[in-house]
């Protein structure tokens, strides 16, 4: 399965239109269409935004191994939750 096919499958699985996904990542529908047909590939920042919007990891989108998925999900949780971020920063300072 290509990256474009994975993007399309995940988007449809979440009940999102191309416009919905485009809005979620700050792109336009044509860009999403190009990603899904593998005529254009996302930059690393766009890939990260796609992964968040599609509730997956960049590694899963690209078809690579997912050895670091737990670390990525944890870092996303820390980034999104202010309480976790404070706890993480306090833990780092304590070391």
pLDDT in tens, 13-64: 999 999 999 999 999 999 999 999 999 999 989 999 999 999 998 988 988 7
3-state helix, strand, coil in the chain (%, to 5): 70, 0, 30
Q: Is the pTM of this model over 0.95?
A: no
> In this model, does residue 4 exceed pLDDT 90?
yes
Provide the pLDDT for residue 90. 72
Q: How far is the C-alpha of 3 from the C-alpha of 33, rounded, in Å?
A: 12
Structure tokens at 51: 């992964």
């Amino acid at each position: 399965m290509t990256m474009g096919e994975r993007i399309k499958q995940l988007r449809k699985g979440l009940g999102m239109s191309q416009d919905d996904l485009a809005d979620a990542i700050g792109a336009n529908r044509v860009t999403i269409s190009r990603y899904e047909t593998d005529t254009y590939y996302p930059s690393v920042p766009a890939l990260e935004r796609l992964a968040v919007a599609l509730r997956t990891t960049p590694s899963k989108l690209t078809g690579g191994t997912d050895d670091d998925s737990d670390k990525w999900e944890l870092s996303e949780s820390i980034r999104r939750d202010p309480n976790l971020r404070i706890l993480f920063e306090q833990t780092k300072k304590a070391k």
